[in-house]
Amino acid sequence: MAYIPGRKKKEEEPERGKKNSTAKLDDIDVLRLKKAHQDLLEAHRGVRESHVEMILNLAIAAEYKDPDTGNHILRISDYSTEIAAALGISADQIEHLRYASPMHDIGKLGIPDKILQKPAKLTPDEWKVMKQHTSIGARMFQSSKSPLLRAASEIAMSHHEKFDGSGYPNGLKGKEIPLFGRIVALADVFDAVVSKRCYKEASAFDEGIIYIQSLAGNHLDPDIVDTFLKIKTIIRKIYDANQSIQKFIEESNNKVLDV
C-alpha cells in the first residue's frame, strides 16, 4: 500500500465498538473540548466587554466637548431600548440599538469647541458646520465589519432627519429614514427638552411628553410617538433613575451580543 502522510497503518487503527484505552482518550478529548469551549466563551466575553467599553468611551469623549449633556448618552440608550422593545423588533436588533445609540453624536469630535460650546444662537455659517456632525460620525464607522458599528454609522447619519422631510443632512422623509434613526430622534429630542442646557432650563417631564405629542407626523414618526406614549411609565422610571456608566457596562457583560 502507498504511503499517505498522516494516515495510520491499518493495524494501528482501533477496532470499532471496543471499550479499550481509546475510549478513555475520547473522554479526555471531550474534557479538552469542553475546556477549549469555555476558554473561547471567556475570550469572547472579554472582547465584548472591551468593545462596549471602547464604544462608550468614544461616545463620552464626544460628550465632554458638549459639557451640558451629562449622562445624556446613557438615557438615550435606555429610552431607545425601551421604545424598540415596545415596537417588537428582534432581540438582536434591540441590543445593537442599545449599544450604538450612545454614539449618535460621535461626529461632534470633529466640530470646533467654539461652535459646540457657544452659549448663544449659532450664525447660519456655524449652524452649517454643526450639522456636519451627522456625516462626520457616519463616516467614522460606515465601512466597519461590525454590525454594531454599522448601526452606529446609520444612527449618526439619520438622527436629525425629520418625518416630514425637513431634517438634515439628506432631507429623508417618512420610512425612508432608517428605523433606528427615527427611534433615536425621538429619544434625543425628549431628553434635550427635559434636560438643562447652556442655552435653556429643563422642562418638566409632563411638558416633555406634551412636546413629543406635538411633533408626531412632522418631526417624529407618529407610530413611534404612539409607542412612546404607551410606555410612559417606563420612560418616567428612566427619567427618574441616575444611570451610571459602570452599571451600564456591567449589564452589557451579561448579554450575548454579536458586536
Residues of this chain that bind Fe ion (CB under 5 A): 105, 188
CB of 104 to Fe ion, least distance (A): 6
CB of 117 to Fe ion, least distance (A): 15
Question: Of 48 and 235, which has the nearer Cβ to Fe ion?
Answer: 235
Question: Of 49 and 68, which has the nearer Cβ to Fe ion?
Answer: 68
- CB environment 173-208: b (16+ within 10 A), e (fewer): eeeebbbbbbbbbbbbbbbbbbbeeeeeeebebeeb
In the numeric block, which cell numbers belong to residue 169?
A: 443632512
Q: Cα 128 vs. chain centroid, distance in angstroms?
A: 26
**Residue 63 contacts residue 73 (beta carbons within 8 Å):** yes
CB of 47 to Fe ion, least distance (A): 28
What are residue 200's DSSP bridge partners? Answer: 197
Question: Of 154 and 188, which has the nearer Cβ to Fe ion?
Answer: 188
Question: Of 44 and 118, which has the nearer Cβ to Fe ion?
Answer: 118
CB of 153 to Fe ion, least distance (A): 14
**Residue 79 contacts residue 212 (beta carbons within 8 Å):** no
